[in-house]
Amino acid sequence: MSHVFPRHCKKTIPTAVRGAGCYLYDSTGKAYLDGSGGAAVSCLGHGDADVIAAIQKQVADLAFAHTGFLTSEPAEALADLLIEHAPADIERVYFVSGGSEATEAAIKLARQYFIEKGQPEKRRLIARRQSYHGNTLGALAAGGNEWRRQQFAPLLFDVHHIAPCYEYVLREEGESAAAYGLRAAQELEDEILRLGPETVMAFMAEPVVGATLGAVPAVEGYFKRIREICDTYDVLLILDEVMCGMGRTGHLFACDADGIAPDILCIAKGLGAGYQPIGAMLCTGEIYETIKNGTGFFQHGHTYLGHPVAAAAGLAVVSKIVGDGLCDRARRQGEVLSKALHDQFGQHPHVGDIRGRGLFQGIEIVEDRETKTPFDPAKGYAAKIKTAAFDAGLICYPMAGTRDGRAGDHVLLAPPFIIEDNQIDELIGKLATALEQVIGADPAAV
Ligand code: PLP
C-alpha cells in the first residue's frame, strides 16, 4: 500500500520513473508524449543536461542559505538576467517557490505599498471571472474559477470580479474586436468607480488565460486600455504570467505582445521548467523605493525564498531560453501546432474555437458549433478526454469550462519548446483519437 496522499484518492495512477525530451515513462515502460508540459511547466522537456549540471554543481557548492542573512550568487544572477529582459520599469525580483506564492506576495506587496504611501484606504482587489491565480487562500480569492473556490468561499477575502476578455463567447455579433476590447476594459473602469477609486489598490489578470479558459489571449487594445485605466485611478496592474510567461507565448514575458508593462509581474512554472520549484514576483523600482524609503521591510516571507539550487536551475533555464532563441522557436513551432490543430479540427463539428499564442494553444469543445452551446457539464467530457488521451500515451490538459452559466470544456496544449514537427503530428493524432472515443461515442453528439 502506498502512503502517498494522491490528488485523486479513488484512483490508482502509474509511477513515473524517467523523462527524456518530450516524453515521460512509467514503471511499466509505457511512454507518454508530454503535450502540456504537465501544466505548462516543462518548457525545455525532460532530462536537459545543462540544467541538471547546474543543479548538481549548486547543490554541491551551496544547498541553502537563509535570505534573512545572506543572498546567493545564482539568485543575484537570475534576478539580473530577468531584469535585463523585463518590461519597462520592472526593476526588482522577489523569489518564491511557485505560482501561488508569487500571486500571494503580489497581493500583499500592493497592500503594503499603499500603506507606505500613506493611502491605507486603498485595499480592494479587482480580478476577473474565469481566471486562476493559485490555490492558497489569498490567491484562490483572487481567482474567479467557481469550481475551485466554492467550498472554501467562507474562508476567502472579498475580491471583486469583472468579465474576462473572452472573444469567442463574449464578443457580440457584428462587434469589431477593437470595440469589444474597449467594452471589456470598460468593465474595469466601471467597477473602480463603483467601489470608489480611493479604495482600489490593484487589478490582477493573466495576459493569456490558461487553466480556466484554455489559452485565451485578449483582443488587441484591451490591455492598453486596462493600463490607461489603472494609471488614471492610481490602481496597480498585477499581471499573472505564472502559466503564460517565460517564452511560452513566443515572448519571454507574455505582456510584451500586448505592448504594455505591469507594476507587478508573477512568473513560475516555466522559470524552473520542472527541474526545481521556483517562482518570482517582479515589481517596479517605484514600488521597491517606496518600501525602501518607508519601513524598509516587506512584511512577508517563506523559509525557502531565493533558494540557491532553485535559483541555479532557473538561471540555467532562462539562459537557455534566451541564449538558444527558444522564444522564436516557441513562436515557430506554435504556428506549426496551430496549423495542425486547424487542419485536424477546423471543421470538427464539436470544436468551436482554436486559439492561443506560441506553444500555448487551446481548443474549445461545444455541442453545437453554430450556437456555441457547450455540452452538458454532467457528461464530464474534459475528464474523459484526459483519461482517453492518457491511455493513448498523451498528456494534455483538459478542463471543464466555467462560462457563466454555460460551462464549456476545453483542452489546453503547452508542449516543450523543443517539440519537433513529427511529435506535433503524434500529439494531434492522439488527441483526435481521444476526442473520437469520448464524443464519438455519444449518440446525442453525432
Ligand atoms: N497563476 C496561474 C495563472 C496559474 O496557472 C497557476 C497554476 O496553474 C498558478 C497561478 C498557481 O501556481 P502554483 O500551482 O505553482 O502554485
Mutate to test the pocket of ligand 1, among 101, 243, 412 (most ligand atoms within 8 A of CB): 243
Task: Tell whether 120 and 215 lie within a shared domain.
Answer: yes
Pick the last residue of a domain from 290, 323, 356. Answer: 323
Residue type, 219: V
Per-residue confidence (pLDDT) for residue 352, from 0 to 100 = 95
Pick the last residue of a domain from 260, 290, 323. Answer: 323
Give the closest residue (by CA) to ligand 1 atom 1: 133
Q: Is the ipTM of this complex over 0.95?
A: yes
Mutate to test the pocket of ligand 1, among 41, 241, 242, 302 (most ligand atoms within 8 A of CB): 242
Is 9 inside a domain boundary? Answer: no
Task: Tell whether 139 and 278 lie within a shared domain.
Answer: yes
Task: Tell whether 357 and 265 lie within a shared domain.
Answer: no
Per-residue confidence (pLDDT) for residue 1, from 0 to 100 = 75
Which atom of ligand 1 lies at the shortest distance from residue 211's CA? 5
Task: Tell whether 172 and 40 lie within a shared domain.
Answer: no
Per-residue confidence (pLDDT) for residue 446, from 0 to 100 = 60
Residues 6+ apart with CB under 8 A from 181: 165, 218, 219, 220, 221, 222, 225
Is 7 inside a domain boundary? Answer: no
Task: Tell whether 204 and 230 lie within a shared domain.
Answer: yes
Is 237 inside a domain boundary? Answer: yes
Pick the last residue of a domain from 260, 294, 323. Answer: 323
Q: How far is the CA of 215 from the centre of ligand 1 (A)?
A: 14
Task: Tell whether 329 and 297 lie within a shared domain.
Answer: no
Is 5 inside a domain boundary? Answer: no
Q: Is the CB of 206 under 6 A from ligand 1?
A: yes
Which atom of ligand 1 lies at the shortest distance from residue 268's CA? 15
Per-residue confidence (pLDDT) for residue 404, from 0 to 100 = 59
* Number of domains, the chain: 2
> CATH number of the domain that 176 lies in?
3.40.640.10
Per-residue confidence (pLDDT) for residue 377, from 0 to 100 = 83
Q: Is the CB of 412 under 6 A from ligand 1?
A: no
Task: Tell whether 162 and 176 lie within a shared domain.
Answer: yes
Alpha carbon distances (Å) from 216 to 131, 208, 245: 11, 5, 14
Task: Tell whether 205 and 246 lie within a shared domain.
Answer: yes
Cell numbers given for 382: 474534459
Task: Tell whether 319 and 329 lie within a shared domain.
Answer: no
Range of the domain at 213: 51-323
How many other C-beta atoms can be found within 10 angstroms of the C-beta atom of residue 141? Answer: 22
Q: Is the CB of 136 under 6 A from ligand 1?
A: no
Give the closest residue (by CA) to ligand 1 atom 7: 134
pLDDT (tens digit, 0 to 9) for every residue of the chain, 446 residues total? 789 888 889 989 999 999 999 999 999 999 999 999 999 999 999 999 999 999 999 999 999 999 999 999 999 999 999 999 999 999 999 999 999 999 999 999 999 999 999 999 999 999 999 999 999 999 999 999 888 899 999 999 999 999 999 999 999 999 999 999 999 999 999 999 999 999 999 999 999 999 999 999 999 999 999 999 999 999 999 999 999 999 999 999 999 999 999 999 999 999 999 999 999 999 999 999 999 999 999 999 999 999 999 999 999 999 999 999 999 999 999 999 999 999 999 999 999 999 999 999 999 999 999 999 999 888 999 999 999 999 999 999 999 877 554 557 999 999 999 999 999 999 999 999 999 999 987 766 66
Per-residue confidence (pLDDT) for residue 330, from 0 to 100 = 98
Q: How many residues does the chain have?
A: 446
Task: Tell whether 315 and 333 lie within a shared domain.
Answer: no
Per-residue confidence (pLDDT) for residue 401, from 0 to 100 = 79
Which atom of ligand 1 lies at the shortest distance from residue 243's CA? 5
Task: Tell whether 57 and 117 lie within a shared domain.
Answer: yes
Is 1 inside a domain boundary? Answer: no
